[in-house]
Chains A and B, each alone.
Chain A
Amino acid sequence: MWFWPNSIKVRTALILSVLVTILWLGAAGITARILSNEMGNVFDAALQETGQRILQLAVIEVLGRDEDGNSQLVTALDSGPEFFTYMVRDDLGQVLLSSQNAVATQFPQGLPMGFSTLAQARLYQEAAVSGSIILTIAEPLAHRRTVAGEVALALSLPLLLVIPLSIVGISYGLGFGLGPLGQLQGQLAQREIGDLASLQTDDLPRELQPIAMTANQLFARLKTAFDAERSFASNAAHELRTPLAGAVAQVQRLRQLTQEPETMRRADQIEVTLKRLTRLSERLIQLARAEGAQLIAASPSDMRIILRWVAEDFSRGSDMGRLRMDLPDQAVLSTLDPDAVGIVARNLFENALRHGDGGQVRVHLGLDGWLGVENVGPAVADPAALAVRFMRMGGLGSGLGLAIVRTVADRAGIAMTLTSPLAGQTGGFCALIQLRADT
């Protein structure tokens, strides 16, 4: 249901408030009903008492008359409204005595002795002198209804204050009672996405302890898995690189020591092959890292420093001076794992240097976290396809560089676009990637 609030606190407060309101109104209604019945009995007793008193007086007055058959109208002592009207008849129906506002039609003959109710009035009838003098006294029902209405109103008016106060009290009480839930929610909501530290469970009530402890166990397992993956990748990289490094160093020494052209040529070939093998093993390890490692760090890093370091690695040898770095003066912080940023930058730089026209590669980092790497060169018909694993442009490269970057982007949930040709040009290639994982 679209209107159903998505909050335990608000839902509970709403349900409790509605229930309390219904209970209050129900209690008030039942009370009013009971009061109304009790008041009806009181009114009946008063009607009966009044009728009996009037009947006694009427008997004395009628029997004391000199002449029979005369009726008498009793005037009221004041001109105010009369709650009771009465009429005294003989056994033949002749009116002997009546109150000032009594109308004969309101006192039909043939009513049973005792109480009876007509449309407009409650009546009481009693006879005296062997049934020869009959008194009928009436009280308008409107009077009773008015009184019952006033009673109901008197009961309802306080509820206008009590019900809102109850709702406020319930909300406050729930807020206090659900405080630990809010603290747990705060602990989870405020932590960085890469933060796998345990939740504080000491102050949590026993209902929440299992949840927090289960979450902590999950965090611990995740951390162990990530650490194991990182350790494995790191060890694998180390074990692969060390013998390759030894071979490269030895072949370079051989190249320096020999003056024999054929030996020099072969040494060069071995060195090229070893470096190609190094790059390929590096790519495969990077791919494993991109697919399995934790890509969000617990604390943010300045992207500029990482980009400078990676660029520095390319600043020697044949690529010296080809990277034109355009970095902002202010820090560009991101929680993207520094190693993942290093992998992304290394692959983007190498891709642009390798597949460009041999000229400069422009590297631009914006304060908004967007990293752009542009190279001049031939246009690529389907640039997005280059991010597919083992898709090589012109058969060059490992076919893994941009696929690794795409894997990092997808797993970290960051945007990445590949475009070719460059805007307003007929050639060139541009890779754009958002390095801020929290955007």
Chain B
Amino acid sequence: MRILLIEDDKIIGSAVREQIDADGHSVDWVQRLDSASDALGGAAFDLILLDLMLPDGRGISFLKSLRATGSQVPVMILTALDQISDRIEGLNAGADDYLVKPFDLSELSARIGAVARRYSGNPNPIIGFQTLQIDLAARRVMRAGKAIALTAREWVLFEAFLQNPARLFAKTTLEERLYSFDVDVDSNTIEVHISHLRKKLGAAVILTERGLGYRLGQA
């Protein structure tokens, strides 16, 4: 997934970015709301992690404005405001989840996965595909009871196909999911990851639409 992190505290922000990156997602980190608006105007994000107290305004107002434009991108609030009324205000403004600081980074990872599953229309964390059993929450793939190890980036790529089984992904779209603006991507990176996935999971797992991109294979 490509995630926009809006957090002004550098210590928290750097830790969260590292965690998300380690999970295999692509993350863009901004520290102000105006920068967030610019980022949203330049790319499509799968999830926004939003702090509420920012130097140039309140996150709630930003969220309301975002929803007013019709944006359906999932938003998870990360805040030190811990009261029930704050949570009510956040959820009423259109947030999908609300995580109070301090939080465990593992919990953040789990919730990011849950929000992604909710928006893919499949809240069940365990699904079957071809000969595979896939636990979306645990980020684990099994075949015949035997675990298949995937790297973080391979998992994120595979998860993108699982969440959108009918979608044709352009190569640039997949690159955006894996890497943020500030990372240079080699021209054949996606091909390499797809190749690794086919070797580990089976050649029919991901199909190539020549000249167009990739899509998930038949179940």
> Quick check: B84 and A252 within 8 Å, CB to CB?
no
A-side interface residues toward B, CB under 8 Å?
234, 237-250, 252-253, 256, 274-275, 278, 282, 306, 309-310, 313, 316-317, 337-339, 341-342
> Quick check: B81 and A234 within 8 Å, CB to CB?
yes
What B residues does A310 contact at CB under 8 A? 84
Contacts A249-B105, A253-B18, A309-B87 given; indicate if A237 touches B11 (C-beta within 8 A). no
Could you mark each residue 1-34 of chain B with 1 if its beta carbon is under 8 Å from any beta carbon of chain A, else 0? 0000000010110111011001000000000000
What B residues does A337 contact at CB under 8 A? 85
For the complex formed, measure the closest distance between the CB of B31 and the CB atoms of chain A, giving whole angstroms: 13
> Quick check: A342 and B83 within 8 Å, CB to CB?
yes
Nearest neighbor of A338 in chain B, beta-carbon distance: B84
> B53: CB under 8 A from chain A?
yes
Contact partner, A253, options B15, B85, B86, Cβ 8 Å: B15
Nearest neighbor of B79 in chain A, beta-carbon distance: A238
Question: In the complex the two chains form, what is the Cα distance from A93 to B108 in whole Å?
Answer: 137
* Sample of 19 A–B contacts (CB below 8 Å): A234-B83, A237-B81, A238-B81, A242-B9, A243-B11, A244-B102, A245-B12, A245-B101, A246-B11, A246-B12, A246-B15, A249-B103, A250-B11, A252-B104, A309-B87, A316-B104, A338-B88, A339-B83, A339-B84
Could you mark each residue 89-127 of chain B with 1 if its beta carbon is under 8 Å from any beta carbon of chain A, else 0? 000000000001111111100100000000000000000
Question: How would you classify the secondary structure of chain B's contact residues: helix, strand, loop or mixed?
Answer: helix
For the complex formed, measure the closest distance between the CB of B27 and the CB atoms of chain A, giving whole angstroms: 14
> Quick check: A252 and B15 within 8 Å, CB to CB?
yes
Residues of B173-195 contacting chain A, CB below 8 A: none
Contacts A238-B53, A241-B101, A313-B100 given; indicate if A249 touches B80 (C-beta within 8 A). no
> B82: CB under 8 A from chain A?
yes
Question: In the complex the two chains form, what is the Cα distance from A238 to B81 in whole Å?
Answer: 6
Question: In the complex the two chains form, what is the Cα distance from A341 to B88 in whole Å?
Answer: 13
What A residues does B14 contact at CB under 8 A? 250
Contact partner, B84, options A253, A275, A342, Cβ 8 Å: A342
> Quick check: A249 and B11 within 8 Å, CB to CB?
yes
